[in-house]
Amino acid sequence: MSTRVFYELWQMECCGEPFRTGDRIKWYVKSAACLTSDLGIMDLDYVYDAHFDDWEGVNILNGTVNKISIYYVKYNLIEGDPHRMMVPVCEINELIEADSSHIYEMERNKLKAFGYVIELDDVTVREAKPKEEIDRVEA
């Protein structure tokens, strides 16, 4: 049985380490129950989070990447916003399988990349200890 993790694109752009199918990973994650909005993705177990504010609910997940899908969503302009801010409309989405965490294709059919859905095998999860540092990707 595989474990499914959602990895937001901004986390990868900020300080993420690229990964490929077959890689062994070690990530900070939180339960998918912590999501504040409905992404329209079924059966998520965890959310990658390298920017948490406190250690409450932070786990360390080890596993082997079995499948990577890029998650594309529609973005709408916030009406009247002078900064022309765009917000994701997650009800309009598409998952496209990829072999790595590259984002060569930022747009697809008027949808924009928002993150990844990663399926992992051979998974272990344990509670993180406060201030515990981890390697981002294992060889």
Mean pLDDT of 113-139: 82
pTM for the complete prediction?
0.84
Mean pLDDT of 106-123: 89
Q: What is the pLDDT of residues 69-92, one digit of tens each?
A: 999 988 887 777 777 777 777 777
pLDDT of amino acid 139? 40
Angstrom distance (rounded) from CA 111 to CA 122: 33
Q: What is the pLDDT of residues 9-68, one digit of tens each?
A: 988 888 888 999 999 999 999 998 877 566 777 789 999 988 888 888 899 999 999 999
pLDDT of amino acid 138? 47
The residue that leads in pLDDT, 27 or 105, is: 27
Average the pLDDT over each of 48-57, 91-100, 130-139 and give the range with the smallest value. Answer: 130-139
pLDDT of amino acid 50? 86
Locate all alpha helices (DSSP H) within the chain, ordered by sequence.
Answer: 9-15
pLDDT of amino acid 59? 94
pLDDT of amino acid 36? 58
27 burial (CB, 10 Å; 0-12 / 13-18 / 19+) is: buried
Mean pLDDT of 86-103: 81
| All residues at 6 or more sequence positions from 39 whose CB lies less than 8 Å from its CB, including other chains | 6, 71, 90, 93
Question: Are the C-beta atoms of residues 130 and 10 closer than 8 Å to each other?
Answer: no
